[in-house]
Amino acid sequence: MEELVKNLNTFLSELAVFYRKLQNYHWNVTGKDFFTMHEKLEEYYDEINEEIDIVAEHILMLGYQPLGTMTDYLENATIEEAKNEKVKSCAVITNLIEDYTILLQKANKIKRLADEKSHYSTSTMIDDCIGAYTKNLWMLKQSQE
C-alpha cells in the first residue's frame, strides 16, 4: 500500500503544479485564438482542480496523509511551473501536450499498481483521469495540424 500511496501523492503533486500552470497560462496567453484558449484553459484548470480534491480525499480514505503544501508539490512533481509572462497559444499547446503526457503516464502507473494489489477503488478512480487525459491529448494534437 505504501508504494501505491507514494505514487498517488506524486500524482497529486503533478496535478497541483499543473493547476497553477494552467491558471498562469489562462491569465497570460496571447494570440489570435486568445478567446478560445482563454476559455479552454479555464475548463482544463477546473477539471484538474476537481481531480486534486478526488485524489487527496482518496489518499485520506486509504488512511494516509496527502501532500498539501506548494513546497511538497514542487519537490515531488516533474511538471514545471510556467513563468509569469505572456505566452503564445502555440507554446501553451506544446507544453500542455507534454504535461498531459506526464499525467497520463503517472495515471497508467497507478492503474497498474492498483490492479496488481487488487485495490479496485483506486483503479476505478484513476480510470476517469486516463480517459480525460487521452481525449485531451488527442484534441490538443489535432489543434496542431
pLDDT one-digit tens code per residue, 53-87: 999 999 999 999 999 999 999 999 999 999 999 99
SS (H, E, C) 86-110: CEEHHHHHHHHHHHHHHHHHHHHHH
Q: Which amino acid is at 29?
A: V
Residue 29, SS3? Answer: strand
75-127 pLDDT per residue, tens: 999 999 999 999 999 999 999 999 999 999 999 999 999 999 999 999 999 99
Tell me the helices (H) and strands (E) count for the chain, helix number first. 5, 2
Residue 129, SS3? Answer: helix
Other residues' Cβ atoms within 10 Å of the Cβ of residue 116 = 11
Q: Hey, what's the cell of 4?
A: 501505491
- At 1 the pLDDT is 75
Alpha carbons 4 and 143: distance in angstroms, whole number: 35
Alpha carbons 143 and 11: distance in angstroms, whole number: 26
